[in-house]
Structures are given as structure tokens and as C-alpha cells.
Structure 1
């Protein structure tokens, strides 16, 4: 068992599960979407992206691109949350929450693609 592959896979799957945990719930209800879970999803996605930089294969390039897409969308979602609530000092509106959750949903789709590529690559590996 290769410890490096275990860590790599761990962060890819953890990024997806944290993203899913934030995404699930009523799209416009802020009570269903925890800001700290979004922060955790952002941080784990960034770690997963850093781990993907070393792979020089074609699949590695696709994995990196899906991770960059997820990072971009989650960072935008976090930025909207910070700007929409903390900087303006207003309460969370349903429209703002919908924008945040929609971006997190796009990031989750990118993470699903990443996990599917990881599983496919693992299945196709020859011993």
C-alpha cells in the first residue's frame, strides 16, 4: 500500500464529502448551510489541489483542472458569504444563500468528476 496514494485519495474524497455536506438542505435556508462547513470544504479543496500538482500525466492534468474549478467556485461562494453578510452587515437573504449554494453545487459536480476519474484510474491500473 502506497501511503502517498492513500493521502491523495483521502483528500479528494474528503473534499467531495464536505462539499456535499454543505450543499445538502433547502437551497435558500441559511440554517441548513453552515459557514464553517463551507470554510472546511474550501480548505480541503485547496489541499487536494496542491496534492494534484505533482502528477504529470494526462489524467493528472484533468484532475487538477477539476480541482481548480471546484476551488474557484468555492472561493466565490465564500466571497459572496463574506461580502453579503459580514462586510455589508446585513442578514443572510434567501437570494444570497441561493447564490452561495449554487456555486457550492457546481464545485460538488467538479469534485464528483474528480472522484470518478480517481476510481477509474485505480480500476484500470495493472498490477
Structure 2
């Protein structure tokens, strides 16, 4: 068993599940989405991105690209939420934007997990 692959896979899948946990719920309801879960999703996504930096393969490049997309979208969601919380008010429209951005990140994470599982299934013992 390769410990590096276990740790990398753990963070890739944890990033996706945390992102889904934040995304799930009424899109326009701020009560259905936790700011702490968004923060955790950002941190875990950044950790997953740093773990993908050393891979020099073509698949590693694609995995890194999907992680960077997820990072950018989750950070953008946090910025929108923070600006709305301190400058305006968090209403249904703002929450819709935040959840939509996290949905894009979720799609990038799903792509990353699918590629990771596909590569794992393709590899020989």
C-alpha cells in the first residue's frame, strides 16, 4: 500500500464531501449553509491542491487544474459572502451566488475524484 496515495486520496475525497455538505440545502437560504463548512471546504481543497503539486504526469496536471478551479470558486464564494455580510446583507440573491460558486467547485471536485478513481482502477498491482 502506498501511503502517499492513501493520504492524497483521503484529501481529494474529503474535499469533495465537504463541498457537497456545504452545497446541499435550499439554495437561497443562508440558514441551510454553514460558513464554517465553507471555510473547512476551502482549507481541505487547498491541502488537496498542495498534495497534487508534485505529480509530473499528464493526469497529475489535470488533477491539479481541477483543484485550482475548485479553490478559486470556493474562495470567490467566501469573498462574496464576506462582502455581503459586512457591506450589505446576506439575502437570497447573494446566497444563490455563493451556492452556485460552490456548485461549480463541487463539479470540479467530482471530476477530480472520477479521474483519481479511474486512474486507480487502471493501474496494475
> Which band: TM-score by shorter chain?
over 0.9
Q: Which secondary structure does the structure 2 equivalent of 1:54 belong to?
A: coil
The answer for the alignment partner of 1:73 in structure 2 is: 73
Question: What TM-score comes out, normalization by structure 1 length?
Answer: 0.97
- Runs of 4+ deviating beyond 6 Å: none
How many residue pairs match? The answer is 125
Q: Distance in 1 between matches of 2:54 and 2:82?
A: 32
Q: How do 1:83-94 residues align onto structure 2 when only pairs under 5 Å count?
A: 83-86=83-86, 88=87, 90-94=88-92
Structure 1: gaps of 5 or more residues: none
The answer for the alignment partner of 1:100 in structure 2 is: 98
The answer for the alignment partner of 1:59 in structure 2 is: 59
1:28 positional shift: 0.2
Q: Distance in 2 between matches of 1:98 and 1:16?
A: 20
1:18 positional shift: 0.2
The answer for the alignment partner of 2:25 in structure 1 is: 25
Question: What TM-score comes out, normalization by structure 2 length?
Answer: 0.98
Question: What is the root-mean-square deviation of aligned Cα atoms in Å?
Answer: 0.6
Structure 2: gaps of 5 or more residues: none
- 1:52-102 per-residue CA deviation (whole Å, 9 max, x = no partner) reads 00000000000000000000000000000111102x1x3311000000000
Q: Distance in 1 between matches of 2:109 and 2:121?
A: 18
The answer for the alignment partner of 1:47 in structure 2 is: 47
Q: Which secondary structure does the structure 1 equivalent of 2:67 belong to?
A: helix
